[in-house]
Amino acid sequence: MKYIFSKLALAELEDGRIYYNLEKEGLGEKFKSFIQNEVDMIFKSPYLYPVMIEPVHRKVINKFPYNIFYRVDENAVVILSISHQRKKPVYLQA
């Protein structure tokens, strides 16, 4: 099994990195590294985190106010979104 980042998730990760670097030099790199560690935790136990809307799981991030939304496919964990907790993920908006 492997993990894959959607284009949206990669863009959100980069936006967060830029934002935090503007807040404090180097904080964006810490944000990106922290998110990568959280993704590694998801990869180790992908069914540990709750399903929000079938088949999408959510991992709440506590150090930064973000959520990671993902789904588990047959051969991969697909990271769909890395979104700020105050924003509704794009694919959940109606």
Query: Where are the domains positioned within the chain?
Result: 2-92
E strands, the chain, in order: 2-5, 51-53, 56-60, 66-72, 76-84
**Which CATH architecture best describes the domain 2-92?**
2-Layer Sandwich (3.30)
pLDDT in tens, 58-76: 999 989 999 999 999 999 9
Neighbours of 66 (CB within 10 A): 23
Does residue 24 or residue 94 have the better pLDDT? 24
Residues above pLDDT 90, as percent of the chain: 84
User: What torsion do the CA atoms of 43, 55, 90, 14 make, to the nearest 10 degrees?
Assistant: 10
Q: How confident is the model at residue 92 (pLDDT cuts 50, 70, 90)?
A: low
Give yes or no for residue 85 having a pLDDT over 90: no
pLDDT at residue 30, rounded to an integer: 97
